[in-house]
Structure 1
Amino acid sequence: MSLDVLVVGGIAMFNNPIGTHKADQLVRMLELQPEGYALDAGCGSGEFLVRVVTHHQTNGVGVDLDPRCISAARETAAARAVASRCAFYVGDVNEHIAAPHSFDFGICLGSTYAFGEGDAAYPGRSHG
């Protein structure tokens, strides 16, 4: 497994376990409609989400626990002229998703921390 990492100002601008080539292949394979919504849980610098939004003319929501990453994500979206179609939030992804079916696409690339641990990762799960 290789990691593609570009570090700018101490923030990994593209850091995921599939690399840029595979990420671009995945973006092209997606069948998203313009004006739909994509979610990137643990979005980091927002690079993958911005690629999705740019390629498909869709809307994006990115969530990450690190405020520096969210700041970098907002800068990335602004630099690519898609900031009006992207929303980035600092915090737990479970606090920022409106409803179970409010996104047309969702991804979590290597961000095992994004949903919490144990029962916190599955708030809607029934016990028993």
Structure 2
Amino acid sequence: MDRQELSALAHADHPIAAPVSASNMGELIRRAACKPDALVLDLGCGPGEWVLRALQEHPTARALAVDTSGEALRRAEDSARERGVGDRVTFVRGDLREFQPPRPCDLVLCVGATHAFGGLEETLRAVDEHVGPGGAVLVGEGFWERPPDQAALEVLGATPDEYRDLAGTVEAVEAAGWTPVHGHVSEPGEWDDYEWSWSGSLTRWALDHPEHPDAEAAIEAAREHRTGWLQGYRGVLGFACLLLQRNRPPRR
């Protein structure tokens, strides 16, 4: 099964595409108080839930949203039209690292997509040139809730130094020239809802379409994912969303 199609099916019941509830996502967006006529940039927007919520919370804002997945962008465009904000957002298919907004942004979102830049610090360096004076960054990043064992590392395809603990993550953010003004650490229930939704959505699609040539592959992918979570990284991998502002003048 095509990886993008699999991801779209797996996130059908949890389009936020991160272990964050709708209420906590809304609180993070509200904390990122945008000035009138703000420009929001979402790097790695997926199906668009974060950027669309930003437009709903900030009714005079406009947005640009970038992703590599054509399927995710099609879903995002459909959602934008359904919510009545399609005229205020432009979706772009392309490389996150190469995209250049037409002017400095007031809010840059990068939730669960720091791998596209090579990691957290690289992401913060890359977005620095996109953020205007007084602007903010909302970044979502994994961290180790506890030191990972070999089972967790194998499932995630990770190394022990791929993530830090939460304190180390905040220290890295500050060392990169940013400081948290708010944050949210995903709760166990948020993780469970996300993971059950991921495997459940995929499994239900396969059971509802038994004649589809990818049905068996979808069931196996869901089973493998669920087993890896339950027997590998549940309670080991954490996720934090940090709302950041500069702790130094912008580089120009």
Residue in structure 2 matching 1:66, options 43, 60, 69: 69
Deviation of 1:91 (Å): 1.3
Instruction: Tell me, in whole angstroms, the C-alpha distance in 1 between the residues paired with 2:73 and 2:10.
Output: 10
The alpha-carbon distance between structure 1 residues 84 and 110, as it changes in their structure 2 partners (threshold 3 A), is same
- The structure carrying a bigger helix percent of its residues is 2
Q: 2:24 aligns with which of 12, 22, 25?
A: 22
Q: CA deviation at 1:97?
A: 2.0
2:49 aligned with 1:47: yes
Task: Return 5+ residue gaps in structure 1 as ranges.
Answer: 1-8
Distance, in Å, in 2 between the alignment partners of 1:11 and 1:59 is 29
Structure 1 residue 55, shift from structure 2 partner: 1.0
Deviations 1:50-106 (A, max 9, x none): 01011102111111111000111111111101011001111112332236x611010
Q: 1:35 pairs with 28, 34, 37, which one?
A: 37
Gap change, CA 1:11 and 1:37, over 3 Å in 2: farther
Cα distance in structure 2, aligned partners of 1:11 and 1:105: 28
Measured on the aligned residues, the alpha-carbon RMSD in Å equals 2.8
Count of paired positions: 116
Letter in 2 for 1:65: T
Aligned equivalents of 1:114, 1:35: Cα separation in 2: 28
What are the superposed Cα offsets for residues 12-67 of structure 1, whole Å, 9 maximum, x if unpaired? 22211333222111111111023111111110100110010111021111111110
Moved over 3 A (4+): 120-124
Offset, 1:123: 6.8
Which secondary structure state, in structure 2, belongs to the residue aligned with residue 108 of structure 1? strand
Which residue of 79, 94, 98 maps to 1:95? 98
1:5 counterpart residue number? none
Cα 1:18/1:95, change in 2 over 3 Å: same
Distance in 1, matches of 2:116 and 2:91, equals 14
Q: TM-score, normalised by structure 1?
A: 0.76
Distance (whole Å) between structure 1 residues aligned to residue 33 and residue 71 of structure 2 = 31
Residue 106 of structure 1 is matched in structure 2 by 108
Aligned equivalents of 1:75, 1:25: Cα separation in 2? 24
Q: 1:123 to 1:85 in 2, by over 3 A?
A: closer
Asked which structure has the greater CA Rg, the reply is 2
- Structure 2: runs of 5+ lacking an equivalent: 1-7, 128-252
Tell whether the 8 Å contact from 1:11 to 1:45 is kept in structure 2 after alignment: no
1:2-13 alignment to 2 at 5 Å? 10=9, 12=11, 13=15
Shift in CA distance, 56/67, structure 1 to aligned 2, threshold 3 Å: same
Counterparts in 2 of 1:22 and 1:103: CA distance versus 1, 3 Å? same
